Every structure is written in C-alpha cells, then in structure tokens.
C-alpha cells in the first residue's frame, strides 16, 4: 500500500491492475488504517482517473453480496454526497417518482457520511427496512418497482473502510464511486457528483462497467444533484459515446430557487419534506424533484426529452402513484417485521 501511495504522491496514476491490487490491500486486515487513509488522501490530491475508478468499483462489486434480479431493466439514481449543501434527500425522493413512473429502481444508499441526513437515515425514519435479503430485493422490484440497498448491508467488507473515511473527515474516491458500486446489474443510471471535473471520467467508467446509458451531472452551486439555482453540467453516456451539455431548470419550465430554499434538516424533517413532495405540495423541494426525476427518466430512455420527463414526473406525483409506491414499500417492511416477530 505504501508503494502505491508514494507512486501516487509522485503524480503517477495507477494502472487498472495496480488499482485492483491496491483495493485488495485496503480490504486486508494486515494493512494499517493510517496507510489506507494516506493512500486515499494521495489519490484525492492527484485526482482519480477512469482506470482507478473502474478498478476500485469492480473489486468492491466482486466482494459485495450478490443480488440476482429477474427484471430485465433496472435503474439507479444516486448522488455521490460530499457537496456540503445540506439539502434534503433529493435522489431518495426522486426514486419514488421514478418507480411510480414505471422504472424498476434498485436504490443504493448509505447513512450520512459528510451530510446531515443520508438516504438510509430518512428511509429508516419513514419505517422502511435497511436489511432486505436478496430475494426480498427481487420481490420488491416486482411488487413495488423499487428496492433499497443499504450499502453496509451489501458491502460487508467496507465496515473498516467506513470508519477510516470518517476519520479523514473529507470526501475521498469513495464519495465519488458509491453509486457505481451497486451490486445489482444495472442497465442505466443517473449519477450526481459534486465535482464537475470528474463528469467525463465517471461517464467513461459507467460504460466500462456495462451501463447501456447514463447521465452524470454536477448541479449549479457544486451540488451532487441537479439544481434550480443556475446552470447544471451534464454528460449523457449512450452506448459509449459521452456528450456534455448544460441545462438550466428554466429551460424545462421550472422556476429559479436558491440552494438555501432546498436545505434539509435531520431525518425527521427530511422525511416530512419527502412526504410533502410526494403529496404534490408546491415548493422548491417539489420543483427540484421534478427536475431530477425528469433527468432520470431521460437517462433511462423512457422519454425523448428532459422536459417531457419533467411533465411525466409531475403527472406521476399528481395522480398519486409516487406516494402509493412509498406506502407500498413501508407496508412491505412492516409486514416483513411482523412475520419475523411471529415466526
């Protein structure tokens, strides 16, 4: 590990095979935590390459719980975290809208690492389980169109790395690649990143990882979600071609709103915001979800334009389907807990 760290500190990027070796060393109990932290910091300072990202992700997925699913098309929408915006849980709220619109969503997420409330925190507050078994993930996809994968539950070998990440106290490559490590074989994906300079690298990594299509975006104000506060920078990856473009929410009929207008709070507050959005209550929170869900529908190829996706997202909320999906997942979790207690 120290050999790789010194090489990276010297400004050298690791090859795919070297990064695989370094990642396996990170999982070894024989590697000191301080050596792992130094390596992660060195990578961050140098700036991670497509090869380094793809190699790390593939090793993580090889070591993850295997989750075979019967659905032929599965989507995920997830931000990397690390943007420091303290926004509400945008991608989690949007995932219910995407599921209500007919997509099969395998939503990969975690507790808060660098933000106040992570996706797992708000889901737990809603009454949704975090420890679904692989067969339950498939059942949920078939019954409700959405299943949630709690990262520590499906990546058991990451427990030690998580504590090291927290000790570092700032974003590392793991913030960037979290959404890419979903153990389900995804067809398409929407990934939000807080670093616009990494859009092309992540889009290229998604192609290498087998995605047919994807959008990688960095929001106005440095958010890891699309924002109403200005120009959002996106890359559309379609069959290996990566096309950069910008998008302002006003171009798709949504109003401007500042980042302060979409701030969240603790898990209880964010659960209330999520529920208000799915009930269709007008607010910058709702408009932000419409924008992100619209982009997700476009990334999945179910609509021909983002504006069409925004309209479809709005209809999915207004007709109650998004809210119904949320209630169905909560009911599944509660029934599951009842069966466990009374088994």
Q: What is the pLDDT of residues 97-132, one digit of tens each?
A: 999 999 999 998 776 554 555 678 899 999 999 999
Collapse the DSSP code of 171 into the 3-class scheme (helix H, G, I; strand E, B; otherwise coil) and give the result.
coil
| Sign of the alpha-carbon dihedral angle for 94, 100, 101, 104 | positive
**Is 109 a known ligand-binding residue?**
yes
Q: In this predicted model, what pLDDT tens digit does every residue of 172-230 receive, in sequence order?
A: 898 788 889 999 999 999 999 988 999 999 999 999 999 999 999 999 988 999 999 99
pLDDT, residue 110, reads 73
**Is 111 a known ligand-binding residue?**
yes
**Is 118 a known ligand-binding residue?**
no
Look at 298 and 29; give whichever has higher pLDDT: 298
Calculate what percentage of the chain has a pLDDT beyond 90: 78
**Is 211 a known ligand-binding residue?**
no
β-pairing, 241-248 with 231-238?
Answer: antiparallel
**Is 83 a known ligand-binding residue?**
yes
Alpha helices in the chain (DSSP H): 2-9, 16-26, 33-46, 50-62, 90-100, 119-126, 134-144, 151-154, 159-168, 173-177, 199-208, 267-278, 284-300, 306-318, 321-341
Confidence at 82, pLDDT banded by 50, 70, 90 = low
**Is 159 a known ligand-binding residue?**
no
**Is 90 a known ligand-binding residue?**
yes
Tell me the C-alpha distance between 287 and 255, whole Å. 8
pLDDT, residue 156, reads 87
Instruction: Tell me the average pLDDT across 236-260.
Output: 97
**Is 115 a known ligand-binding residue?**
yes
pLDDT, residue 300, reads 97
**Is 79 a known ligand-binding residue?**
yes
Judged against a pLDDT cut of 50, whether residue 340 lies above it is answered with: yes
């Amino acid at each position: 590990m120290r050999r790789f760290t010194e090489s990276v500190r010297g400004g050298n990027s690791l090859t795919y095979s070297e990064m695989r070796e370094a990642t396996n060393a990170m999982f070894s109990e024989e590697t000191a935590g301080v050596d792992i932290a130094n390596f992660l910091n060195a990578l961050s300072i140098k700036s991670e390459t497509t090869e380094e990202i793809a190699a790390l992700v593939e090793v993580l997925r090889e070591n993850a719980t295997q989750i075979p699913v019967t659905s032929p098309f599965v989507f995920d929408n997830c931000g990397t975290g690390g943007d420091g915006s303290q926004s509400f849980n945008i991608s989690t709220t949007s995932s219910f809208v995407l599921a209500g619109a007919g997509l099969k969503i395998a939503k990969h997420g975690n507790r808060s690492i660098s933000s106040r409330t992570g996706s797992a925190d708000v889901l737990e507050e809603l009454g949704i389980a975090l420890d679904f078994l692989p067969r339950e993930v498939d059942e949920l996809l078939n019954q409700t169109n959405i299943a949630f994968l709690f990262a520590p539950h499906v990546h058991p070998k990451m427990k030690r790395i998580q504590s090291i990440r927290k000790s570092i106290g700032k974003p590392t490559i793991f913030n960037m690649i979290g959404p890419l490590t979903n153990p389900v074989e995804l067809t398409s994906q929407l990934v939000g990143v807080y670093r616009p300079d990494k859009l092309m690298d992540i889009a290229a990594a998604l192609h290498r990882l087998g995605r047919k299509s994807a959008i990688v975006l960095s929001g106005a104000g440095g958010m890891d979600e699309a924002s109403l506060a200005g120009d959002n920078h996106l890359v559309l990856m379609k069959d290996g071609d990566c096309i950069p473009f910008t998008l302002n929410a006003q171009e798709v009929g949504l109003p401007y709103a500042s980042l302060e207008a979409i701030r969240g709070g603790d898990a209880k507050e964010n659960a209330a915001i999520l529920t208000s959005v799915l009930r269709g209550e007008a607010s910058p929170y709702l408009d932000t979800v419409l924008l992100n869900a619209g982009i997700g529908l476009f990334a999945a190829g179910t609509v021909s334009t983002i504006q069409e996706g925004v309209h479809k997202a709005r209809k999915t909320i207004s007709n109650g389907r998004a809210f119904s999906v949320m209630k169905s997942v909560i009911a599944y979790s509660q029934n599951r807990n009842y069966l466990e207690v009374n088994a």
